[in-house]
Amino acid sequence: MPARYKRPESVLVVVYTAAGEVLVLRRCQPPDFWQSVTGSLRWEETDPLDAARRELREETGLGDTVEVIACGAVNRFPILPPWRQRYAPEVTENLEHVFRVSLPERCSIILNSHEHDAWLWLPRATAAAKVMSYTNRDAILALP
C-alpha cells in the first residue's frame, strides 16, 4: 500500500467549553482509544490550520463558523506501529501542530463512523486522564 501522507505532519485540535468541559472521541481502532480531534495533513495541504479545520469538520461536524486557534505548540514524537503503514517506510517521527476551539457551551457532535464510535464532554482533568496520548493530555492541561 502506498503512503497516504506526504510527510509525517499532523494536527491536534482540543475542543472545550466556557465551563471547562473538553470533548473527547473514542476511536473505532484500536479499542478504547480516546483522543481529541486529530489527523494528518493530506498530500495537497501545506497549512496545518487548513488540516485542523478539515479534521474538525470531518470528525465532529463542527463547521467553519467556529474559530480554530493555533496554540503555538508543536510536538515531535515517534509514530506508533499501528499508524506507521500510512507513511513511507523510512518515516518514524511525526510533527504535531496543536490547535484549540472554544465553544460557549457543549453541543451535539456528528461523528465520522469510520474513525470514532463515541464522544463525551468531560471536565478538563478527567479528559486529560482519559486520552491516550501524552501530547493530547498536555494540550488539554494547557488550555486557558
Confirm whether pTM is higher than 0.75: yes
Residue 2, pLDDT > 80, answer no
* pLDDT score of 140: 98
pLDDT, residue 1, reads 46
Domains in the chain, start-ordered, CATH in brackets? Answer: 9-141 (3.90.79.10)
Q: What pLDDT digit, counting tens, does each position of 64-122 carry? A: 889 999 999 999 999 888 878 878 888 889 999 999 999 999 999 999 999 999 999 99
Amino acid (one-letter) located at 66: V
For 34-43, write each residue's pLDDT tens digit.
Answer: 999 999 898 8
